[in-house]
Chain A
Amino acid sequence: GENVEQHPSTLSVQEGDSAVIKCTYSDSASNYFPWYKQELGKGPQLIIDIRSNVGEKKDQRIAVTLNKTAKHFSLHITETQPEDSAVYFCAASGGTSYGKLTFGQGTILTVHP
């Protein structure tokens, strides 16, 4: 089955700096790669996603890049703000997995004012 590895497990940045979180996946059939933000006591919130026919996608301060050959994808957050502090999860799905997402272990992002 699919396996997703996520790094780093914790990331601490100063407000205004950029943050990068990286994930690798194992199943070449995977074709959908969402990123979720989870705040304390809440469910995961979809912040951006990318499909395998696209190499990069951007939404304001957030961007995701995908390298299908190397089987890795990354989340980039620019001009970080304290409210960006949360746990971020990458995930992958595709092939016959339908609605099943395989998640990375999560990254605790702390943005210091």
Chain B
Amino acid sequence: KAGVTQTPRYLIKTRGQQVTLSCSPISGHRSVSWYQQTPGQGLQFLFEYFSETQRNKGNFPGRFSGRQFSNSRSEMNVSTLELGDSALYLCASGSGSGTGNTIYFGEGSWLTVV
């Protein structure tokens, strides 16, 4: 069974640009969530989607957005990039609709903003 797949793995962007990251969850999983990982702030929750609806949202500015498609694949977008957005962006997929679902992570997308 394939794991969580994220693309691209590495990318470099310039301040002010926008970026779109993609995630394919484990087959059959309908929950997809996104996290930002930085050395200073650790792992921080961005948002979660379930059946194409945003179910939960973290404390990030509106420049960070996401969506989920009918096949459960998800994308997240960051507009007007800032240097502080440089981070590892992790996608995770979950197996069920309730709480306490087992959650698996992808390898992440490394974003560098210059």
Contact surface of A with B, Cβ cutoff 8 Å:
31-32, 34, 36, 42-46, 49, 51, 89, 93-106
Interface residues of B (CB under 8 A from A): 4, 31-33, 35, 42-43, 45, 48, 50, 55-56, 58, 90, 92, 94, 98-108
Q: Identify 25 residue pairs between A and B in the complex whose beta-carbon atoms are under 8 Å apart, listed by A's number.
A: A31-B100, A32-B99, A32-B100, A32-B101, A34-B103, A42-B107, A43-B106, A44-B105, A46-B103, A49-B102, A89-B43, A93-B99, A93-B103, A95-B99, A98-B48, A98-B98, A99-B31, A99-B94, A99-B103, A100-B48, A101-B35, A103-B43, A104-B42, A106-B42, A106-B43
Cα A42 to Cα B48 in complex, Å, equals 21
Contact of A51 among B4, B43, B100, B107 (CB under 8 A): B100
- With A43-B107, A97-B56, A100-B48 given, is the CB distance from A105 to B99 under 8 Å? no
Judging by beta carbons under 8 Å apart, are A45 and B105 in contact? yes
**Chain A min CB distance to B6 (Å):** 8
Residue of A nearest to B31 (CB): A99
Q: How far is the CA of A44 from the CA of B102 in the complex (A)?
A: 13
**Residue among A43, A44, A89, A94 making CB contact with B99, cutoff 8 Å:** A94
List of A residues within 8 angstroms of B55 by Cβ = 98-99
Closest A residue by C-beta to B57: A100
